[in-house]
Amino acid sequence: MNPIILKICAIFTPSPLIGEIRKKAGSAVFSRNHYGPFIRKRVKGGNPKSTKQTTVRSSMSAFSKNWKVLSEANRLAWNAWASTHSLKNRLGQDMKYTGENWYIKLNRILATISGVAIAVPPSAEAVPPALVVTPSLAVVGGVSVILTVGGAQVAPAECIVYSSSGLSQGKYYNSNYRFIKHLSLINGANDITTAFTAVFGSVPATGAKIFLKLKSVDNTSGLEQQPQIVTAIAS
């Protein structure tokens, strides 16, 4: 009889001095799942240098260089924007970005949706577009992937769609997504089969589960909503 091997991450109880830890520190990775906080050994990831990875890195490098040649007035405007805007980190805490961080972040989002780069920050009154209305997913094994929504997006809003590959239907959490496409959602069914197969090769077989992550984005400012997750098991 072959032995049964269980791989268990170390779990820990946060102390009064340290509530929670996330991300990497030395050779350890700190995270949390439905069992609670855990620590695992840090494993160096691969670097396949795919076309998409190379494009993203080149884009970030270009925007970093562009920051240096912006006018002083524009850089000061971005710094002022940064002083009044924050993001939530993995612990739900407010995290401050620099003006340069915001400039690169928003322009990278705009590049993802083929938008026009911006040299000045959004207006003080600008807010992210509304969430995608009642999204649902239907997958026919080996045939189609259809995203259905209960209301059309109104310009300048667009939706960035990320997806998992076909996973076990017993999974209820996924952290591995790949960019599929961006689109202006129409009310009702939105067929994303072609975009899905371009990334993953084919639609998963019956019984596999797919996770979709949706981000509603303003295509003039790069501001985005919190992601929405929908799942479906291929029929």
- What is the pLDDT tens value at each position of the chain, 235 positions in all? 555 444 556 666 666 656 666 667 767 777 766 556 667 776 666 666 666 666 677 788 889 999 999 999 999 999 999 999 988 776 677 888 999 999 999 999 999 999 999 999 999 889 999 999 999 999 999 999 999 999 999 999 999 999 999 999 999 999 999 999 999 999 999 999 999 999 999 999 999 999 999 999 999 999 999 999 999 999 9
pLDDT at 28: 77
pLDDT at 92: 73
Quick one: residue 189, left, alpha or beta (phi over 0 = left, psi -120 to 50 = alpha)? beta
C-beta separation of 67 from 102 below 8 A: no
Which of 92, 58, 206, 195 is CA-nearest to residue 143? 206
pLDDT at 5: 47
Which residues are CB-neighbours of 64 under 8 A, at least 6 positions away?
100, 104
CA separation for the pair 74, 93 (Å, rounded): 28
C-beta separation of 149 from 190 below 8 A: yes
Look up the CATH architecture of domain 136-233: Sandwich (2.60)
Half-sphere exposure of 99 (CA within 13 A, CB side): 18
What is the H or E stretch that residue 145 is in? strand 144-149
Measured between alpha carbons, how far is residue 196 from residues 88, 125, 161 in Å?
Answer: 29, 36, 10
Domains of the chain, by residue range, sit at 10-41, 51-112, 136-233
